[in-house]
Amino acid sequence: MSDFDGASIGYAEIAGMEHGQPAPAPEYSEDGVDLSLIRWMLSLEPRERLAFLEERINDILTVRELNDRP
């Protein structure tokens, strides 16, 4: 288990809301990519990014394992 709990990160943090400030309107690239998510990921320390992504991988592997059950 990592010291970074990705599950504790909510949309408010992803969208940039802090201390009751309203979230800015999402900005999208010409390709439709939500740039606020990229900014959020880049705001994390490298070890936090890795921990978050490893937790998502573990979630996916758990779902796959559950789907393989008879």
Per-residue pLDDT of 11-49, as tens digits, reads 555 555 556 677 665 688 889 999 999 999 999 999 999
Per-domain residue ranges for the chain?
8-67
Taking the alpha carbons at both ends of the chain, their separation in whole angstroms is 29
Which residue, 43, 55, 66, 67, is CA-closest to 5?
A: 55
Tens-place pLDDT, residues 47-58:
999 999 999 999
Q: Which residue has the tokens 């959020």?
A: 40
How much is the pTM? Answer: 0.54
d(CA 68, CA 23): 40
